[in-house]
Amino acid sequence: MVIKKKQFVFNAISGWMTQLVFALVGFVLMPYIIRNIGEQGYGIYQLARSALVFFMFLQLGMGPTLIRFFSKAIAKEDNTEIQRICSTAQFFLGGLGLTASFLCLLLTPSFISFYNIPPEFVQETTWLLVCMSLSLFLNMTFIVPQGMLFGTHRYDLVNLIEICENLLRLLFIVILFEFIRPSIFFVGLSILLTQLCKYVALFVVAFKKFGKVVSFSFQSVTKAMVRRLLGFGILNLANSVAGVMVFQGPILIIGKLLGKEMVTAYAPALLISLSMIGFLSKVTGPLVPLASSDREGNAGAMLGELAVSMGQVAAFVGFGVVLPLVTFGSEVMQLWLGDNLAWTWSVVAVISAGVAIAQVQAVNYYLALGGGDIKPTVYSQIVSAAIICSGISIGIVWFEWDLLAVAFYIGSCFVVRNVFYLPYVYARQFSYKLGRYLWSVYCLPVLITLACSGSGCILKIMWPPESVLLLIAEIVLVLTGYLLLCWFFMIPKQIKKKLVHIAKSKVNAHSSAS
């Protein structure tokens, strides 16, 4: 268990680095692309990206499913079972990937017509969708080696590949824009090239790790394995579909009812939300094999404690991201995207706060994925998707909601589901005390965040952040206060003692070496 815990920490740290790179690349590319192709062009790209995400449903929830199945087979060291899962999944997902790519190409004219793409963007949009449809196939097929590496606790290897992928995407876009010309087609081409590199890298690493079992064998493809994968995959499919509807559905509705410029205005909130989700998923995702091991060898005795402690970690990270967006959102957005989009800071703050609340429950989902029942997450996600999408449509058409009203509605739905429903259901499954859980992962972090935000607002009044250096200094000061309050009030005493002991040991060892 010690080795697994060390690997878990290493996986989490490498995951944070991956998401940090993803966020930084996104923050650099968004203003760069908008400046080069305009708000309308960027809005078209965002619409295409959101529409194409829905084709990923055709993977039928195989991503989390394969992690679960590979984790169990690897724990038993059953190479025959590993090859059976690998070959069946490659055959299955390869066919689904081809189907998704074909459907995407087939529906390209309908997309151009439905969103009234201007004539000057029609050709570029067509080629953009061609590149993204080919990327769909690669996305489907590299789920298999990625699931194998996740199943053996090697999230760090996948994270390293993803870091390289994001940096390559930035490099390709800048090269194509600067040396040829700015175009939304080149954005799609850059995505395709980086996906191809990721595809090759994942299979090479998986082959070195597992050997020939990674190679496709038609004899290992069985109907029984297809039924087993589908049986569990359908639940994950429903969760994936609903999750995409929650985050990408509003983009499509806004694009149709409020216009492409409002899609661009909503894009910063979406980018930050997806960055937060990815960042927190890197922390909580490695819980799947850990939960599987605990369920198999310890009857799930650790799951309740893990739900509370990792929930605190997720809340600490999530609200730590929200704090500067709420307190210094206007200044940050003006510095990042300029005067035209600085007004979107309130939309970003509301959506990011809702995501921080929602992602605490990712801990319960991953624990249930590895050693429990994921139905509460899936069913409530489906209900949330229906309520959010229908509510936004009704609100915009009948009540003339603006973007901020849409954001408040989405955030309210997040609160109802993730504070009042899921903690109660999972308290029964993992046997933790609901009152202690709600105080530890929601009430206390929110109080600390509000206290720090209030202090930051007073700081802004006393010393207006009129320069970049002063703004950075004030953000660092507020976050330092947040860290100190979390250290004193959130982290359990036994963990603090252990961390202090480790730090002292490192310092003493360094002093002795010197």
Pick from 104-118, 209-223, 490-504 the range whose average pLDDT is largest.
104-118
Look at 43-52, 53-62, 323-332, 396-405 and tell me which has the smallest mean pLDDT.
Answer: 53-62
**Structure token digits, residue 271:** 């980018």
In order, the DSSP letters of 368-406 are: HHHHS--HHHHHHHHHHHHHHHHHHHHHHHHH---HHHH
Nearest residue to 359 via CA among 440, 291, 277: 277
Assess whether pLDDT exceeds 80 at residue 133. Answer: yes
Assess whether pLDDT exceeds 70 at residue 1. Answer: no
pLDDT attached to residue 423: 95
pLDDT attached to residue 473: 94
The better pLDDT of the pair 498, 185 is held by 185
**Residue 356 CB neighbours (<10 A):** 28
The better pLDDT of the pair 71, 316 is held by 316
Residue-averaged pLDDT of the chain: 85
% of the chain at pLDDT higher than 70: 90
Assess whether pLDDT exceeds 80 at residue 325. Answer: yes
Confidence of residue 389 (pLDDT cuts 50, 70, 90): very high
pLDDT attached to residue 26: 85
b/e string for 78-110 if b means 16 or more Cβ within 10 A?
Answer: eeebbbbbbbbbbbbbeebbeebbeebeeebee
**Structure token digits, residue 28:** 């650099």
* pLDDT tens string 142-165: 888 888 888 777 778 888 898 999
**Structure token digits, residue 477:** 């000061």
Do 283 and 314 form a contact (C-beta atoms < 8 A)? yes
Assess whether pLDDT exceeds 60 at residue 510. Answer: no
Assess whether pLDDT exceeds 70 at residue 7. Answer: no
Burial of 193 (0-12, 13-18, 19+ CB in 10 A): middle
pLDDT attached to residue 3: 42
The better pLDDT of the pair 90, 481 is held by 481
Rounded to an integer, what distance in angstroms lies between the CA atom of residue 275 and that of residue 272? 5
Q: Which residues contact 233 (CB under 8 A, 6 or more apart)?
A: 60, 61, 62, 65
Q: Which helix (H) or strand (E) holds 441?
A: none
pLDDT attached to residue 444: 95
**Structure token digits, residue 229:** 């994968």
Assess whether pLDDT exceeds 60 at residue 2. Answer: no
* Cα distances (angstroms) measured from residue 478 to each of 20, 392, 435, 445, 485: 20, 34, 29, 15, 11
* Cα distances (angstroms) measured from residue 431 to each of 133, 427, 428: 45, 5, 5
pLDDT attached to residue 296: 64
Do 392 and 411 form a contact (C-beta atoms < 8 A)? no
pLDDT attached to residue 171: 95
**Structure token digits, residue 507:** 């310092």
Confidence of residue 175 (pLDDT cuts 50, 70, 90): very high
Confidence of residue 298 (pLDDT cuts 50, 70, 90): confident
pLDDT attached to residue 189: 93
The better pLDDT of the pair 223, 3 is held by 223
Rounded to an integer, what distance in angstroms lies between the CA atom of residue 385 and that of residue 380? 9
User: DSSP label at 361?
Assistant: T
pLDDT attached to residue 457: 94
pLDDT attached to residue 393: 95
Confidence of residue 180 (pLDDT cuts 50, 70, 90): very high
pLDDT attached to residue 44: 87
Mean pLDDT calculated for residue range 418-445: 93
Task: Find the farthest-apart pair of alpha carbons in the chain and give their distance in angstroms, rounded.
Answer: 72
Pick from 235-249, 369-383, 448-462 the range whose average pLDDT is largest.
448-462
Do 149 and 158 form a contact (C-beta atoms < 8 A)? yes
**Residue 420 CB neighbours (<10 A):** 10
**Structure token digits, residue 223:** 């109907």
351 phi and psi, to 5 degrees?
-65, -45
Mean pLDDT calculated for residue range 331-354: 91
% of the chain at pLDDT higher than 90: 36
pTM of the model: 0.70
Pick from 76-85, 234-243, 372-381, 474-483 the range whose average pLDDT is largest.
474-483
**Structure token digits, residue 113:** 């017509």
pLDDT attached to residue 270: 85
pLDDT attached to residue 433: 92
